[in-house]
Chains A and B, each alone.
Chain A
Amino acid sequence: MSAPLYLRKRLIFVYVSLMPMLMIIGLFVFYPILGAFMLSLTSGMGTKQRFVGFAKYRSIFASTEFWNSLGVTGLFIGGVVSITIVLALVLAAILNSEKVKGKSFFRACLYFPRMTSMVIIALVWQYMLNERFGIINYLLNLLGLRKISWLTSSSLALSSLMIIQIWAIVGWTMMLILANLQGIPRSYYDASEIDGANAWQRLIYITIPLLLPVISLAVLLCTMNTFIGSFVLVQVITHGGPRHSTDVFSYLIYRTAFEYFDLSGANALALIAMGLLIIVGVFQVKTTR
């Protein structure tokens, strides 16, 4: 009537084994999202909580803080990811050619920031970019240039943070691309050379199309990493920056929760961010089809 014993035992094994994982993902990934949605529809703390519908969202969309933060974040992530990818591609190309010696040394060097914590990176760079006694300004001085207020000027602070973030991720992005670059068979290039392709054509018609999947993966990973890193950089160094110039979205969410004590607003913001992420994700999947 039913399946043989050993098959039944196997099924039991499967479901029992999957259970803990399913419970944890269900309970700690999906359920809090629902809870966040519920919470974002209320206002007030503790006993004063009341249901206010979408009022929270309305006030968020009406606040300049929100739009400023969105702009700052977009600038930050867009700038960091694009520059990082370009740099990583160039570096990977250089390190892939046979003419360069000591490749493993350079590769090891470039991997260092990956092993450290974003907190460490933030602290060291804050020290180096200090306007008065930082080493970067000292070097500029030596070259006869004026000192630059890297982190205290509202027009420069974001760019400085972007430089730090790029510094932090270009190493492993390059390694990722390099690994894939090395997988492209030399025969492709040799065959095209016989057909008369020059270096530029080889780049456009062979290298880039074959690298597209890994570039798209790199964009995804860099974006995720940058989002995480942006919080650390802002919270440790600039606290939202001179006049909100570095008020990244993740920091806005944190501030709303712990400085304004507005947990429902913070949850609303988090949900908005997730919504944006899903939209971007769907868009990306559609365009790579």
Chain B
Amino acid sequence: MRSVLHKLQRKSGKVSLSAISKFTWIMPTYFVLILFAIIIAFPLFFMVSLSLQSFQEVSHFPPIIIPSSFQFGNYVTLFERIPLFPRYLLNSFIFAGSIVVGHLFLSSLTGYIFAKFNFPFKRAIITFVLISLLFPGNLRVIPLYSFMVKLGLVNTYAGLIIPFIVGPFTIFIMYRFISSIPTEIMEVARIDGASEPRIFLSIILPLAKPALVVVTIFQFTFRWNMYLWPLVMTRGKLRTLPVVVAQFKGTESFFRWNLIGTACILLLIPSFLIFIFLQRYITRGTAGALKF
């Protein structure tokens, strides 16, 4: 403590009262932070524990935090109780994956054109896209559903995926990023005789990798965890995982919380993995393309 006071003394010439009071609020601050970290992290940790508890432990009171033996068999039991689980997993993958691919391609293309080209009606088209931001997906669900009923596309992959395969939010992320790519690169490529599609695919897309990664993480997690839309649009075999996990609780006469925990962990893993693996690509910048 003395060294801190000495340092403060040398800096300001005197030890102000605030310096001492600054020091005394460090302890409670740490306390608050740790409390928060526990509050935030605990439920998830608890869920992992739940997934490995036996039924007796889960319905035991007082609640058990660390199970006495890890019931990895829960995972097997879950697959027995929900035989179509792999199918639901696949459905979620198809749903989230297709939308991600659609966004990566269509939104970056749109963002590229908005950023680097001038053409008649550009203003109108951008306004068109901007206005669509006023109608967020969640509110559109029922109108979209009614539309899908009319089209006969309820409970189909197409009906599930296509309405969301491009979105204004992603378009503007790509727009902002691509704006920062120097236009000289494109001009050079054009002089070299490259066609426009070629420029987009071979030059712009690779340079936009950091933004594409952000979009991937964002959209995949968002669509993987989407609940209301698949709930409304899918039945039976086409259901996505979050819907199945939520309904799973309802079909049991007495909630088997340990299996619910297991289902939750399985639901969590894919988006978690994507998040972990793609994190490092965000920090790698665009250096390299501009070395002439």
Contact = CB atoms under 8 A, between A and B. Distances in A.
Given A117-B271, A138-B61, A232-B227, A24 B165 contact: yes
B246 A267 contact: no
A146 interface: no
Contact of A133 (B32, B60, B129): B60
B117 A25 contact: no
Contacts of B190: 6
Given A29-B132, A117-B225, A117-B268, A39 B138 contact: no
Given A29-B132, A124-B264, A257 B142 contact: yes
Nearest to B244: A119
A67 to B, nearest CB: 19
Interface stretch (B39-47, B80-88, B207-215, B284-292): B39-47
A112 B113 contact: no
A194 B240 CA distance: 60
Contacts of A231: 138, 227-228
B163 A24 contact: yes
Interface string B164-183: 11101001000000000000
A21 B110 contact: yes
A23 B178 CA distance: 23
Counting contact residues on chain B (CB < 8 A from A), the size range is 35 or more
B197 to A, nearest CB: 7
Counting contact residues on chain A (CB < 8 A from B), the size range is 35 or more
A217 to B, nearest CB: 12
B146 A36 contact: yes
Contacts of B93: none
Contacts of A232: 227-228, 246
A14 B246 contact: no
A31 interface: yes
A242 interface: no
B132 A118 contact: no
Interface stretch (A49-57, A179-187, A203-211, A270-278): A270-278
Interface residues of A: mostly helix, strand, loop or mixed?
helix
B152 interface: no
Contact of A277 (B26, B41, B113, B134): B134
A257 B145 contact: yes
Nearest to B274: A115
A132 to B, nearest CB: 7
Contacts of B268: 115-117, 120
Interface in B242-281: 242, 245-246, 249, 257, 260-261, 264, 267-268, 271-272, 275
A32 B44 contact: no
Interface residues of B: mostly helix, strand, loop or mixed?
helix
A260 interface: no
A252 to B, nearest CB: 11
Interface in A1-60: 6, 9-11, 13-15, 17-18, 20-22, 24-26, 28-33, 35-36, 39
B40 A110 contact: yes
Contact of B63 (A28, A33, A134, A267): A134
B128 interface: yes
Contacts of B46: 124, 128, 135
B245 A119 contact: yes
Q: Which residue, A110, A121, A127, has most C-beta atoms of chain B within 10 A?
A: A127
Given A14-B119, A91-B36, A94-B29, A112 B44 contact: yes
Contacts of A253: 142
B138 A10 contact: no
Given A20-B166, A32-B144, A274-B139, A13 B228 contact: no
Interface in A60-100: 91, 94-95, 99-100
B267 A35 contact: no
A57 to B, nearest CB: 15
B69 to A, nearest CB: 20
Given A21-B106, A133-B61, A13 B142 contact: no
Given A123-B249, A257-B145, A277-B134, A112 B139 contact: no
A162 B246 CA distance: 19
Contacts of B138: 224, 227-228, 231, 250
Given A30-B132, A94-B32, A227-B138, A18 B113 contact: yes
Contacts of A132: 61
A5 to B, nearest CB: 12
10 contacts: A17-B109, A33-B143, A36-B142, A100-B29, A112-B41, A117-B267, A232-B227, A250-B228, A253-B142, A263-B146
**10 shortest interchain CB distances as A-B pairs:** A117-B225, A36-B143, A28-B163, A32-B143, A13-B196, A133-B61, A109-B37, A32-B147, A119-B242, A120-B264
Given A118-B227, A270-B142, 8 more contacts: A31-B147, A100-B33, A105-B37, A112-B40, A118-B225, A232-B227, A232-B228, A263-B149
